[in-house]
């Protein structure tokens, strides 16, 4: 791992007019100010993966499709992740589940935080539903998370996100955790690869 770990912020909503992109852009600006990471935004709408279409189990890494090979290379170079997900029907987005299912080793032994949002539930049910999926891929969820209630109240007329103090403090705390975990877990990843 380079001195500054790579943090990928994954935008999990893909529909036109989504709030997910401005939420992710807000979090990216906080992560850049934090300064501990090389920050990348990964937009699942741009990635445009089809529904899982690989014939082999991802743990074999025998990917036959170019879109999977590209996705594998992208996730491989990351040292940490933040999933920015809406709450849809009390869970996280189907696009995120699909993107997670495509790969296996590429996720392992890396820390992950969540920024979830929705209505009055603040995306908490999406966050809770996501946790066991992340753990099954050997991702290490942070203790803290960012939960945004009634997300549209934080949108400005320009379509950017204006956070409140609770959101800002939660984002800062999660980045501290992610940075420590990214460095702490690096030896484990090196062992797994050798």
- Residues in contact with ligand FMN by the rule CB under 6 A: 13, 15, 18-20, 86-90, 118-119, 121, 151
Residue number, 151 or 182, with CB nearest to ligand FMN: 151
**Nearest-CA neighbor of 86 among 166, 172, 15, 134?**
15
* CA pair distance 4, 79, nearest whole angstrom: 9
**Residue with smaller CB distance to ligand FMN, 161 or 185:** 161
Q: How far is the CB of 10 from ligand FMN (least distance, A)?
A: 13
**Residue with Cβ nearer ligand FMN (21 or 170):** 21
Q: Shortest Cβ distance from residue 183 to ligand FMN (Å)?
A: 31
Give residue for tokens 């049910």. Answer: 125
CB of 20 to ligand FMN, least distance (A): 3
Chain residue whose CB lies nearest ligand FMN:
118
Phi-psi region of 5 (alpha: psi -120 to 50; beta: other; left: phi over 0): beta
- Cβ 89 to ligand FMN, closest distance in Å? 5
Separation between Cα atoms, residue 13 and residue 11, nearest integer Å = 6
Strands 146-148 and 110-117: parallel
Residue 44 or 182: which CB sits closer to ligand FMN?
Answer: 44
Report the half-sphere exposure of 6 (CA within 13 A, side-chain side): 13
Q: Which is nearer to ligand FMN, 18 or 131 (CB)?
A: 18
| Smallest separation, CB 58 to ligand FMN (Å) | 26
For residue 58, CA distances in Å to 51, 54, 137, 182 come to 14, 8, 11, 23
């Amino acid at each position: 791992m380079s001195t500054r770990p790579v943090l990928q912020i994954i935008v999990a909503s893909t529909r036109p007019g989504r709030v997910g992109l401005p939420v992710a852009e807000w979090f990216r600006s906080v992560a850049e100010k934090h300064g501990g990471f090389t920050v990348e935004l990964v937009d699942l709408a741009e990635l445009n993966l089809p529904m899982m279409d690989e014939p082999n189990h991802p743990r074999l890494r025998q990917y036959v499709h170019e879109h999977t090979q590209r996705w594998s290379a992208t996730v491989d170079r990351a040292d940490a992740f933040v999933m920015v997900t809406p709450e849809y029907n009390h869970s996280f987005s189907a696009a995120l589940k699909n993107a997670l299912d495509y790969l296996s080793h590429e996720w392992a032994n890396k820390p992950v935080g969540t920024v979830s949002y929705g209505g009055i539930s603040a995306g908490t049910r999406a966050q809770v539903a996501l946790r066991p999926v992340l753990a099954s891929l050997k991702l290490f969820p942070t203790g803290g998370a960012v939960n945004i209630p009634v997300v549209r109240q934080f949108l400005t007329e320009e379509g950017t996100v204006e956070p409140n103090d609770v959101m800002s403090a939660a984002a800062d705390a999660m980045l501290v955790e992610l940075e420590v975990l990214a460095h702490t877990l690096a030896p484990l990843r090196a062992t797994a690869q050798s």
